């Protein structure tokens, strides 16, 4: 066989699942335009960094990576910055990094092959217009994950949380047509996957003009072959009774909700413009748990938001205990230029020292809750979907319906299959498990 002469593209993804999904669309588009996928930047003809802007740290990582690439990449490689940081900084990136020739925001990927071709001829470009019709329906994503499929159902965000850059980087909210989501789900099942994760910035506010999120859950859950249905991230205010009923009644919907709380203090929530109070959040949790007993809950929490007092923070700690989260992603507030939080009085700023100390206490509280819950689950049997090889030798990583990670022994060919496991141990956050062999009853000898 002769070696392929097709040019190659390497994509590196930062940030959320929506970005992973966008990278899958970009890779699909590039492959359809004559490129092969490269698994390292060194020899790639095109290098794309699909970036995140949610916290300063995320942007600093990309800046570091761009510097590193300069000395390692092929001399004539085209380097593009895409995603949220591209949208936020636009042409500034071209000015500051001379080896970058493309800057493309989340709504500009349709022109990716053309802009790459131009860039290979030396034309640098920025594409950061929003396109409220854009859902990339005709793109065929090249999925990185072989076991579960990310399905974007909504782009952009219409909430205006005062800390958040996303409405600026991803523009106004718009949803795909339900039929298109169902079509994509059928294709996913035909490719051999049985878990679907619906994606949107406030995914449960989905509406295509006729159907709401409850309709979407029922329709996707009804596609033959969908065994597990998840979604991320919902907003507490968009959990209508209809949506909760659809979750409870749709068998494929997994017993886990990731429900960003952000703070347990009503005063801070008001200043964050989250549009719910501490009690409102608790009430949402109760409604979900009443409809789905045993529902696992995870969350996002920010500490050090401007003006957060020790009392506010203690309310966050007590809310974490009161809800009993299965896990939480915890963040120090990061000021994002142009967001309303940056216009709060200077005197409200929380020092990094205080924020770090609060973060450490929060992590302790979250961890001890997780550990306690997980210890209580030891000995239970669960269905798991085997997702990939574990980082440690010879083991596999599997996931329960309620989103617990279980490390089990097994062979690579078990990836993508389901098994029943007994939870035999826990590190606190993840479990070890033993596969339970289904007992086959043989006919009695006569
Ligand atoms: N600083 C820190 N954390 C943030 N998040 C969003 N914006 C910021 C910010 N400016 C967190 C929120 C959100 C998660 C994806 O990132 O908790 O739910
Ligand atoms: Fe990061 Fe938010 Fe953009 Fe996702 S939508 S990449 S989390 S800034």
Rounded Cα distance between 285 and 330, Å, is 19
Query: Which numbered atom of ligand 2 lies nearest the CA of 50?
Result: 6
Q: Residues 69, 41: contact at Cβ < 8 Å?
A: yes
Q: Within a domain: residue 133?
A: no
Closest CA to 27 of 14, 42, 39: 39
User: Are 313 and 344 within one domain?
Assistant: yes
| Of 229, 284, 228, 234, residue with least CA distance to 258 | 234
| Phi and psi torsions of 174, nearest 5° | -150, 150
Instruction: Report the pLDDT averaged over residues 206-225.
Output: 98
**Alpha-carbon span 58 to 55, nearest angstrom:** 5
Model confidence, pTM: 0.96
Q: pLDDT, tens digit, for every residue of 243-272?
A: 999 999 999 999 999 999 999 999 999 999
In a domain, 171, yes or no: yes
What 3-state class would DSSP assign to 126?
strand
pLDDT at 232: 98
**Looking at the structure, do residues 263 and 386 belong to the same domain, yes or no?**
no
CA of 66 to the centre of ligand 1 (A): 24
84 CA to centre of ligand 2 in angstroms: 6
Which residues on adjacent β-strands are paired with residue 300?
329
Is position 228 within any domain?
yes
- pLDDT one-digit tens code per residue, 79-126: 999 999 999 999 999 999 999 999 999 999 999 999 999 999 999 999
Say yes or no: CB of residue 336 within 6 Å of ligand 1: yes
Cα 391 versus chain centre, distance: 21
Tokens for 288, please give them. Answer: 């979900």
Closest C-alpha to ligand 1, atom 7: 164
* Owning domain of residue 423: 378-439
Q: Which atom of ligand 1 is nearest to the CA of 260?
A: 18
Ligand nearest to the CA of 337: 1
The ligand 2 atom at the shortest distance from the C-alpha of residue 165 is 8
Q: Is residue 445 one of the residues assigned to a domain?
A: no
Percent of the chain with pLDDT strictly greater than 90: 95
| Calpha distance 89→115 (Å, rounded) | 18
Q: Which ligand is nearest to the CA of 200?
A: 2
In this structure, are 352 and 383 located in the same domain?
no
pLDDT in tens, 311-370: 999 999 999 999 999 999 999 999 999 999 999 999 999 999 999 999 999 999 999 999
| Residue 3: pLDDT band with limits 50, 70, 90 | low
* 155 Cα–ligand 2 center, Å: 11
At residue 307, the pLDDT reads 98
Do residues 197 and 225 share a domain? Answer: yes
What are the tens digits of pLDDT across the range 192-204? 999 999 999 999 9
DSSP secondary structure of 304-344: --TT--HHHHHHHHHHHHHHT-SEEEEEE----TTSGGGGS
Q: How far is the CA of 50 from the centre of ligand 2 (A)?
A: 10
Alpha-carbon gap, residue 315 to 270, rounded angstroms: 14
Residue 445 has pLDDT above 70, yes or no: no
Q: What is the pLDDT of residues 393-427, one digit of tens each?
A: 889 999 999 999 999 999 999 999 999 999 999 99
Q: 83: cis peptide before it, omega within 30°?
A: no
Q: Are 432 and 407 in contact (CB under 8 A)?
A: yes
pLDDT at residue 446, as a whole number: 45
- Whether 9 is in a domain gets the answer yes
Host H or E run for residue 295: none
Instruction: Tell me, using a 6 A CB cutoff, whether residue 84 lines ligand 2.
Output: yes
SS3 35: coil
391: CATH: 2.40.50.140
CATH number, residue 269: 3.80.30.20
CB neighbours of residue 3 within 10 Å: 5
Boundary of a domain, candidates 357, 376, 395: 376
The three-class DSSP label of residue 400 is: strand
Together in a domain, 255 and 392: no
Instruction: List the structure tokens of 20.
Output: 């992973």
User: Are 62 and 195 part of one and the same domain?
Assistant: no
Q: How many angstroms does the Cα of residue 85 sit away from the middle of ligand 2?
A: 9
Same domain assignment for residues 393 and 283? no
Count of other CB atoms within 10 angstroms of residue 31: 15
Q: How much distance in Å is there from the Cα of 419 to the middle of ligand 1?
A: 35
In a mutational test of the pocket of ligand 1, which residue from 331, 337, 343 has the highest number of ligand atoms less than 8 Å from its CB? Answer: 331
Output the CA torsion 162→167→172→175 (10° steps). -100
Q: Quickly list DSSP for 30-55.
A: HHHTTPEE-SSSTT-SEEEEEE--SS
> Is 238 domain-assigned?
yes
Q: Give the number of domains in the chain.
A: 3
- Report the pLDDT value the prediction gives residue 403, as an integer from 0 to 100: 98
How many Å apart are CA 225 and CA 416, to the nearest integer?
Answer: 13
pLDDT higher than threshold 60 for residue 440: no
Tell me how far the alpha carbon of residue 170 lies from the centroid of ligand 1, in angstroms. 15
Helices (H), 211-330: 213-221, 241-249, 266-271, 278-291, 310-323
- Indicate whether 163 and 199 sit together in one domain: yes
What's residue 5's pLDDT? 87
Reading the block at residue 440, the tokens are 């086959």
State if residue 235 touches ligand 1 by the CB under 6 angstroms criterion.
no
- Which residues 6+ apart lie within 8 Å of 280 measured at CB? 236, 237
What are the angstrom distances between the C-alpha of 265 and each of 164, 286, 348, 383, 416?
18, 18, 16, 37, 42
Give the pLDDT confidence of 129-183 residue by residue, as tens digits.
999 999 999 999 999 999 999 999 999 999 999 999 999 999 999 999 999 999 9
Q: Is the CB of 166 under 6 A from ligand 2?
A: yes
Is any ligand 2 atom within 6 A of the Cβ of residue 419? Answer: no
């Amino acid at each position: 066989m002769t070696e392929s002469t097709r040019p190659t593209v390497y994509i590196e993804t930062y940030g959320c699942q929506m970005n992973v999904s966008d990278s899958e669309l970009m890779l699909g588009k590039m492959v359809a335009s004559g490129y092969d996928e490269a698994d390292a930047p060194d020899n790639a003809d095109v290098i794309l960094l699909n970036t995140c802007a949610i916290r300063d740290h995320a942007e600093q990582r990309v800046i570091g990576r761009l510097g590193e690439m300069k000395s390692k990449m092929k001399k004539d490689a085209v380097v593009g910055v895409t995603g949220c940081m591209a949208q936020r900084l636009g042409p500034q990136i071209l000015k500051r990094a001379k080896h970058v020739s493309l800057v493309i925001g989340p709504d500009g990927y349709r022109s990716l092959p053309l802009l790459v071709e131009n860039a290979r001829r030396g034309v640098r470009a920025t594409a950061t217009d929003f396109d409220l019709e854009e859902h990339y329906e005709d793109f065929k994503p090249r999925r990185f994950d072989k076991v579960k499929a990310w399905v974007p159902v909504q782009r952009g965000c219409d909430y205006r949380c005062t800390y958040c850059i996303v409405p600026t980087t991803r523009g106004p909210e718009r949803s795909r047509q339900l039929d298109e989501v169902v079509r994509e789900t059928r294709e996913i099942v035909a490719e051999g996957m049985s878990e679907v994760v619906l994606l949107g910035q406030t995914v449960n506010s989905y509406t295509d003009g006729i159907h709401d999120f409850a309709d979407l859950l029922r329709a996707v859950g009804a596609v033959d072959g969908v065994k597990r249905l998840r979604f991320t991230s919902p907003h507490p205010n968009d959990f209508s009774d209809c949506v909760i009923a659809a979750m409870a009644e749709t068998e494929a919907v997994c017993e886990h909700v990731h429900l960003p709380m952000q703070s347990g203090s009503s005063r801070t929530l008001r200043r964050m413009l989250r549009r719910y109070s501490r009690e409102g959040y608790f009430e949402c949790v109760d409604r979900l748990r009443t409809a789905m007993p045993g529902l696992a809950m995870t969350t996002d929490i920010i500490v050090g938001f401007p003006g957060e007092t020790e009392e506010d923070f203690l309310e966050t700690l007590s809310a974490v205990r009161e809800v009993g989260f299965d896990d939480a992603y915890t963040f120090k507030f990061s000021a994002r230029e142009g967001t309303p939080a940056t216009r709060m009085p200077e005197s409200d700023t929380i020092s990094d020292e205080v924020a770090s100390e609060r973060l450490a206490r929060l992590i302790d509280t979250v961890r001890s809750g997780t550990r306690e819950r997980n210890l209580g689950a030891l000995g239970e049997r669960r269905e798991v979907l085997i997702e990939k090889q574990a980082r440690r030798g010879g083991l596999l990583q599997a996931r329960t319906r309620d989103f617990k990670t279980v490390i089990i022994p097994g062979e690579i060919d078990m990836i993508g299959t389901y098994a029943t496991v007994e939870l035999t141990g826990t590190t606190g956050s993840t479990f070890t498990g033993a596969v339970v062999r289904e007992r086959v009853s043989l006919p009695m000898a006569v």
